[in-house]
A = this chain, B = another copy of it.
């Protein structure tokens, strides 16, 4: 069965079997049955246990085959060694979806991994879908049903959550029950043997009960699929991800600039950006976002009104707004009039509104209603500190009433304090107002909502361009390098491949003798550059392997011999193919365009300030290929160099179209040839607008067989 159709059934089953159901409290097989009953599941529940009898007043069947009716979903909680035959049996019975809670598979090593593969093979033979194994289960609060061993069922809400960590899920659930955050779906991904994050994201995208998607993942199973799915959903529903495992990936050996500048986690960040996914920095941020999304509509813009009963916290919050890219709303004349009439004269009626330490619930009502009604305000943040005359709980109730009256704008509360705020917090949580203890987290949550708005507006439905290229020629060169048992191309080869893809290059020819160098130089025209041609030498200039501006045959001859001497002195063991003779390109802005290859997401393109100091300046940015014209433009202008290319301090603008074209042609090249594992053009000289670019030094490394 198609996975998505399978998930439809998994989300809304009419019957669920619990294989490994138990009558012993504390056993997972008991928890699952109890959760199914407690969550109000209205379909049939079939506890399966060889001992038969009754569990929680339900008849127990000895096996799924014993059940007369259809079984949509089978939840498996038996020990790992019994799982295979049970999966087979489920297949024969015609079960649609398996939720395998049982652990002891991929996570325990090779043997478990093999056993896990076998499960999927059997399941797919029968067209079943598989969630897990090694998972907590699944909850759909709208079915409703809870087929998990979690301690409780989340409240109904608009947020769908999928997590690669079951333990984290239990923590989040526990928390959400306290903070009254509602979820539509709650999915534990487990080992992702078959169904992965992308499958569930796709299903959440189509789910009418889900408005927001939250994910915790440690890795993505299929980078392309993930990006394709998210790209479709992000324009309609926000997707927030915490991706951990940043530090465990470790450093990769890399010989190119691009490889060494791309951190182990860069590809994930870039992939998220390119497919419209927002990456949260921490669990608490993810949680705050869930809290706000569950309660609030999206703001229309970034103009925040602050209402407070104390100056200090108002200032802190104003700072936090500015630091998070939010604007302090400028109130309309009507709002200011209302506030002036209603508040004591010492109050501040401009933003932040300071209703003074004596502020009563009525004062708060006045301020919050006025600001919620103001067209210049996109969201309202209410601060309360516990002062002598403060009525915490009544003020909370007033906010809840305001929210009911004006539900369209985000209304958030920061009630600063400890025990004296406890009851007020409950009132707010119950009343659908997200409440925070310190201003910065609340501001950050609003900023996250706004971040989605900006992101959504920037998403474009655009295809990568397709350039005419001599693919065959490039292929021949790669094959000849491979025949030669090399991985690093010679300069002449790399430049030829770039030329084959229409990239303007400084022409280059390999000379194996001083004589040959002289005649090539004459043919290319003086001045020329000489570079050592050796796959073993990466930083040629460091060892005197490059000479520039040679103006005569005599200089070329001397240069040829000098370079060979230098190389022999520094790296006597390097394999030398000769010396590349290259036309001397007119000097332009020094840029770098490079590519490394991410194991998960494929070709990762880098652009930035080039030259020999690229690793020190680190003014570079990244995108994954294939790239659209917008991607190329974003890539360029994310760097400081991008700003400078527009022409600053009276300089002429550079040929940005030419640069973008080069980036896009490289993107096409590395998508055409998976063999190309690393590529650097450094420098690429960019000239004034209309005058194009020139690739001065192209390096290409191909992958091993």
Contacts and interface: CB of A to CB of B under 8 A. Distances in A.
Contacts of A172: 416
A254 interface: no
A417 B170 contact: yes
A151 B420 contact: yes
Contacts of A168: 310, 312-313, 316, 385, 416
A77 to B, nearest CB: 12
Nearest to A282: B440
Number of chain copies forming the complex = 2
Interface string A613-635: 10011100000000000000000
Contact of A282 (B318, B320, B617): B320
Contact of A171 (B313, B539, B618): B313
Given A386-B171, A416-B171, A649 B539 contact: yes
A311 B542 contact: no
A439 B108 CA distance: 26
A446 to B, nearest CB: 15
Interface string A301-333: 000000001111101101111110000100000
Contact of A319 (B166, B244, B357): B244
A649 B539 CA distance: 9
Interface string A280-315: 011110010000000000000000000001111101
Contacts of A309: 167
A421 B248 CA distance: 29
B311 A246 contact: no
Interface string A351-370: 00000010000000000000
A167 B421 contact: no
Nearest to A284: B438
A401 to B, nearest CB: 24
A619 to B, nearest CB: 8
Nearest to A179: B418
B542 A388 contact: no
A514 interface: no
A176 B418 contact: yes
A261 B225 CA distance: 44
Interface in A420-441: 420-421, 437-441
Nearest to A26: B388
Interface string A175-186: 111110000000
A149 interface: yes
A282 B171 contact: no
A174 B418 contact: yes
A640 interface: yes
Interface in A627-686: 640, 643-644, 648-650
Contact of A616 (B166, B539, B640): B640
A80 interface: no
A563 to B, nearest CB: 15
Given A438-B283, A640-B618, A388 B31 contact: yes
Interface string A217-257: 01000000000000000000000001011111000000000
Contacts of A108: 346
A186 to B, nearest CB: 15
A284 B174 contact: no
A458 interface: no
Contacts of A346: 108
Contacts of A480: none
A123 to B, nearest CB: 25
Contacts of A216: 312
A167 B283 contact: no
A469 B437 CA distance: 56
A665 B540 CA distance: 40
A651 to B, nearest CB: 9
Given A418-B179, A440-B284, A640-B618, A247 B310 contact: no
Contacts of A170: 385-387, 417
Contacts of A419: 174, 177-178
Given A616-B648, A644-B616, A312 B218 contact: yes
A311 B312 CA distance: 41
A64 interface: no
B28 A312 contact: no
18 contacts: A26-B389, A108-B346, A165-B315, A167-B310, A167-B311, A174-B419, A175-B437, A177-B418, A177-B419, A244-B316, A247-B319, A248-B318, A284-B438, A541-B650, A613-B649, A616-B640, A616-B648, A617-B640
Given A175-B418, A616-B648, 15 more contacts: A26-B389, A28-B388, A108-B346, A151-B386, A165-B310, A165-B313, A167-B385, A174-B417, A244-B312, A247-B319, A248-B315, A282-B320, A282-B438, A283-B316, A543-B650
Q: Which 8 A-B residue pairs are closest in the complex by CB-CB distance?
A: A165-B312, A167-B310, A178-B418, A171-B416, A174-B417, A247-B322, A282-B440, A167-B385
